[in-house]
């Protein structure tokens, strides 16, 4: 792995984005649906989840390209979740990454259906992985874990808990339930999917699961800190919007200093589990650092 | 197959419904989400799609039970599609089968998320089919076809076209596009999934695809006729609601007599393709007759 992380991440981000475009091109469906799907898929973003998957494959000295379908599927599910979260009956957001949200452009019905279609297509993608290196049983394991991470016991469950927790004082356990599910499960899946594609054994998968658990919480704590300490330009939404919405956050429960300590602890626990894998984890460490210090 | 169709259909409807309950019991997720999912799954209905799958397996002299997970998955996707179709931004329906729609009971956000969770869970179910009779490759084929039938190129695409076609005079080709996609693809999948589980060869699958194409159109034409000739008690909604909503229907395009002729033609074409399979199709014929004469 001679490439720097920046080169690695540019290369695979580009590969991912061109694959997403190619997949959408072939779809035979009403134009407005296609446009709505493409609009949100191409709205940018850090592509953290696909990069986690590619970096996990690199850690196993596997060709990251073998994760292309699964990485695309994960980004589709992440995108659908943003479209549905932004809806008027959910967070009612008009802007996402500085651009009008999907339902603002295409209307609420098309936005709901574009989300449904992206979610559905993600499973089609994994079920039709072409690579001869990936066995049918691995594909089935990828699908089963994906559905679990994205569904009622994962991301969707977390979104429900988040909505129920609004305007209510949560304790730390309740706050963690929300974040472990709403954002953590899909981040963790991105790592686990890489390990499944690399046919890792269970003890390695357990270590990577522990790594991604701490990574996911670090990601969320940093998000809460940024909401208070970032600038509007950095975070693409008004500073302090969580506070204005009376949302429970890590700084509100732990104080800002406590939240920063918790962030440090999760980052260092994540790195400890990474080291224990004894894999080639340079890129995964880079992503971990990126999450700890990211400013958007 | 000694059982009459009535016995067969009661037995497998019951098996399906107890499996749906059992699957929901094990879900670890916020209670409101679980309740919302169960509410719509248990709201009744004819379970036509699962019965088509069970009857297709019976036609191959296979144990219908081997289709239980797939039949449950199909019913979950059908249910999610009804929940999302009923939303205020879509058809804005307050009642479904005489009961308040999901969002009327649980709120719009929970209804959207319950639909998302049902859709996601359906793929988990198929990917974890236990039966040793079903190979990993068959499960992957089941998933790929399912996603195609349910997604942008299938049911979701049809729903988008339906919404775009409202308040607009459609021609017969446009009307057929809507129905072939919105209801036809999932009905057809119910048959094709049975054939895949039975490891049918391609020429048989083609005949069953032709059968289910005509069956799906017959189903929809009968629906349009019932909307005008049924009683409110029979159809669970006001008579003539399509006309009041200025929806294009088969009777509005073809006249009532023309629609009835088209229904006859599709039913007889469906039966012709069934006979060509030379399978044990008694129950599939019974379902076809049921669709032709059903009064709800």
Residue A38 CB burial class (10 angstroms; 0-12, 13-18, ≥19)? middle
The confidence score (pLDDT) of residue B73 equals: 98
Residue with token string 């189903």: B219
Place of tokens 């929806």: B247
What pLDDT is recorded for position A218?
96
Q: What is the pLDDT along chain A (296 residues), one digit of tens a residue?
A: 579 999 999 999 999 999 999 999 999 999 999 999 999 999 988 999 999 999 999 999 999 999 999 999 999 999 999 999 999 999 999 999 889 999 999 999 999 999 999 999 999 999 999 988 999 999 999 999 999 999 999 999 999 999 999 878 899 999 999 999 999 999 999 999 999 999 999 999 999 999 999 999 999 999 999 988 876 666 666 677 777 777 889 999 999 999 999 999 999 999 999 999 999 999 999 999 998 876 65
Considering CB atoms only, which of A37, A123, A146 is closest to B147?
Answer: A123
Find residue A100's DSSP bridge partners: A95
B-chain residue closest to A178, CA distance: B30
pLDDT of residue B282: 97
CB contact under 8 A, A143 and B124: yes
Interface test with A, best of B89, B121, B144, B174 (most A CBs within 10 A): B89
Subunit contact A30:B124, Cβ cutoff 8 A = no
Minimum Cα–Cα distance from B149: chain A residue: A120
CATH homologous superfamily for the domain B5-293: Farnesyl Diphosphate Synthase (1.10.600.10)
- Report the C-alpha gap between A183 and A162 in whole angstroms: 11
Amino acid A92: pLDDT: 95
Contact A112 B32 (CB under 8 A): no
- What the block records as the tokens of B112 is 């959207």
Three-state secondary structure call for residue B272? helix
What are the beta bridge partners of residue B95? B100
Cβ partners under 8 Å of residue B150, min gap 6: A120, B77, B81, B119, B156, B185, B186, B189
Q: How far is CA B172 from the centre of its chain?
A: 22
Instruction: Check CB contact of A260 with chain B, cutoff 8 Å.
Output: no
Chain A interface includes B136 (CB < 8 A): yes
Among A30, A107, A161, beta carbon nearest to B157: A30
Nearest chain A residue (CA) to B141: A127
| Residue of chain A whose Cα is closest to the Cα of B84 | A112
Chain B residues with CB inside 8 Å of A115's CB? 116
- Nearest CB neighbour to A163, from listed B109, B150, B161: B109
Please tell me the predicted confidence (pLDDT) of residue B44: 81
- Show the low-confidence residues of chain B (pLDDT under 70): 1, 231-238, 294-296
Residue written as tokens 């009041």? B244
Q: List, in order, residues 6 or more apart from B138 with CB less than 8 Å away.
A: B196, B197, B199
Bridge partners of B100, per DSSP, are: B95
| Count of C-beta atoms within a 10 Å radius of residue B242 | 17
The rounded distance, in Å, linking the Cα atoms of B79 and B119 is 9
Nearest-Å Rg of the Cα atoms of chain A is 18
């Amino acid at each position: 792995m001679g490439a720097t992380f920046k080169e690695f991440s540019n290369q695979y981000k580009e590969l991912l984005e061109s694959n997403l475009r190619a997949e959408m091109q072939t779809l035979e469906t009403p134009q407005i649906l296609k446009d709505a799907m493409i609009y949100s898929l191409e709205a940018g973003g850090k592509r953290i989840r696909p990069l986690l998957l590619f970096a996990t494959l690199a850690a196993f000295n596997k060709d990251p390209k073998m994760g292309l379908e699964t990485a695309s599927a994960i980004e589709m599910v992440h995108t659908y979740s943003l479209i549905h979260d932004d809806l008027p009956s959910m967070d009612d957001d008009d802007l996402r990454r500085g651009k009008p949200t999907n339902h603002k452009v295409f209307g609420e019905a098309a936005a709901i259906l574009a989300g449904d279609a992206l979610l559905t297509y993600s499973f089609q993608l994994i079920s039709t992985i072409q690579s001869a290196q990936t066995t049918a049983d691995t594909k089935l394991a990828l699908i089963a874990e994906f559905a679990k991470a994205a569904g009622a016991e994962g991301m969707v469950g977390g979104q429900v808990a988040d909505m129920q927790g609004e305007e209510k004082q949560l304790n730390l356990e309740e706050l963690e339930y929300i974040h472990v599910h709403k954002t953590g499960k899909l981040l963790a899946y991105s790592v686990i999917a890489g390990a499944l594609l690399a046919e890792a054994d269970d003890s390695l998968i357990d270590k990577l699961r522990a790594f991604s658990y701490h990574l996911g919480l670090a990601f969320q704590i940093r998000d809460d800190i940024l909401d208070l300490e970032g600038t509007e330009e950095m975070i693409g939404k008004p500073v302090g919007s969580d506070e204005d919405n009376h949302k429970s956050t890590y700084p509100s429960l732990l104080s800002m200093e406590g939240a920063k300590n918790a962030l440090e602890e999760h980052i260092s626990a994540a790195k400890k589990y990474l080291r224990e894998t004894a894999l080639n984890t340079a890129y995964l460490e880079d992503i971990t650092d990126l999450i700890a210090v990211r400013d958007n």
